[in-house]
Chain A
Amino acid sequence: MRSFWKRHSQPYLFLAPAVAVMLFIVLYPFLYNVYIAFSNMSLYHLRDLEFVGLKHFRTILSEPAIWAVFGKTILWTVVNVVSHLVLGVGLAVLLNQQIKGRAIFRALLILPWAMPQYITALTWRGMFNYEYGSINLGLKAIGLSPIPWLASEIGAFAAPVIANIWLGFPFMMIIALGGLQSIPKELYEAADLDGAGWWFRLRKITLPLLKPVLLPAAILGTIWTFNNLNVIWLITNQGEPADKTHILVTYVYKAAFHYYRYGYAAAFSLVIFVILLSFVLAFLRAGKERTR
């Protein structure tokens, strides 16, 4: 024991503060969440808790509305992450060429990332306003009829997607720019000599060499998008119309803090976590296999 401590005391001392904090504010709440998930805790049962077993999990699986929410979550995540990657990589490739005012473009295009998300969301909510929002005013100006964005189920889902694409692509762009700068120029020169077109260069040089940088970024992006509360909550004003625009996390948030269904929400949080975890693991495995 003593020799073990002697060998490893340094890393543990460096780690101690962070680990102590994480144990107290992450692990402990997490275990408490598991505990609540199997109890009947709600606003009316805060102290007199009873063990209810898998009751909440059964409720979750038997609610038909959940599957629509689940489908929307997948759609929301896929559309956003794919758009972020396509826009981010595309812009990075453009900006990596000889462009006049490159620094200015870069600085301006990074702005959506710099803005706090809640401001982005509230601002876009204003822009999607039926009568006074600039999007409908713009549509009218070019002779199209205005769209009731926030009043219809589809519109109120499309609106946050548009806003979220806007706020998310700069992160991917910066990551891709960093990756592009590390690709040796000689590779492109060699491809030029062979008379390769841009599509070939993109598919055979740029994308494969960007992959080690983009894969972790795409995984992070997936996690962040899947768990993004702000944008949907604020743009649809808590899931309007009629709680039809929720993704999983906003749905649970409402169950917990508006309907005070603590046990149910805790169980649901666990389900969401397991879904996301299995996605990410599958993603990682697929990424690894293709590298081989």
Chain B
Amino acid sequence: MSREGNRLRIVKSVVIHVALVLFTMAVIYPILQVISISLRPGDRLYSTSLALIPDGATLHAYYAIFFEKPFLLWLRNSLLVSITVTIIGVALASTSGYAFARFRFPGHGAGMLGFLVSQMFPATMLLLPLFILLSKIGMIDAIPGLVIAYVATALPFCVWTMKGYYESIPVELEEAAMVDGTTRAGAFWKITLPLSAPALMITALFSFMTAWSEFMVARVIIQSQNLYTLPLGLESLAGTFQTEWANYSAGAVVVCIPVVALFLILNRYLVSGLTLGGVKG
């Protein structure tokens, strides 16, 4: 390589790094902004300063949401809903995805298509009839009603992910076990399922996130304040006439920490768990 070419390569590398750093800074600015506002003292909520660490930074807003606002109640409701949805979602998607991946049976194509098409339903198309049906059986303003709506939203994507991943696992592994006398269900449970850990993680993460971050359905189904989930609670902080920006931001930071942590921990599974599902479609 000539000296000229070498110099060109270094310049190119520097340009790429600078561009990446600038772009990344722009991307994480809104996140830093939330953290910054959560640290503002009460008398500087309406500040026109652009500094990221505010003057007189304080943790008071965090104290306020835990001890003066019903944040713990919202957290409890959200955890209840999200964990239930995750368990149901993983259980249903891991079994039905297996059927789609390993068997050919009448209704195979129609079933897969059905799951895909239901992803295209605009939210109101399920929400409105569910709302009317739930109110007829008295499940409006109740946590199970919310769980039902979320499972319907999360399940199709999870089934497709699981199916795609199972197809990447050699069927010979199961056949070997079945020669040794294991049943099909046993082979699924002992061999295929453990090997599918990345896809199971994605499925769990996706189900959990659906329930943990959903707002538009919750605000229709839940009305009593003591059943508020975190999204409803935080919106009530940000949405009232007198916006409590510091409290809202502190709540947002606390809500984001577990999902961001999960995302970063599962980061390495994201590529393998998602793309395989995508390619095999």
Contacts and interface: CB of A to CB of B under 8 A. Distances in A.
A32 B159 CA distance: 24
A37 B163 CA distance: 34
B19 A94 contact: yes
Interface string A245-283: 000110011001100001001101110110011001000
A241 interface: no
Interface string A87-123: 0000100110111100001111111111111111011
Interface in A27-75: 28-30, 32-33, 36, 41, 46
Contacts of A94: 16, 19-20
Main secondary structure of the interface of A (DSSP, over half): helix
Size category of the A interface is 35 or more
Given A229-B216, A276-B120, A25 B252 contact: no
B133 interface: yes
B34 A123 contact: yes
A36 B136 CA distance: 14
A253 B151 CA distance: 20
Nearest to A17: B92
B127 to A, nearest CB: 8
B274 A175 contact: yes
Interface in B30-67: 30-31, 33-34, 37, 46-48, 50
A252 B31 contact: no
Interface stretch (A76-84, A134-142, A149-157, A199-207): A134-142
Given A118-B213, A118-B215, A217-B278, A249 B122 contact: yes
Contact of B20 (A99, A114, A131, A230): A99
Contacts of B271: 174, 177-178, 181
12 contacts: A14-B188, A19-B96, A32-B129, A36-B132, A112-B31, A178-B271, A213-B279, A223-B119, A249-B122, A257-B131, A265-B128, A269-B124
Interface of A: 8, 10-12, 14-15, 17-19, 21-22, 25-26, 28-30, 32-33, 36, 41, 46, 91, 94-95, 97-100, 105-120, 122-127, 131-132, 134, 137-138, 141, 166, 174-175, 177-179, 181-182, 212-213, 216-217, 220, 223, 227, 229-230, 233-234, 237, 248-249, 252-253, 256-257, 262, 265-266, 268-270, 272-273, 276-277, 280
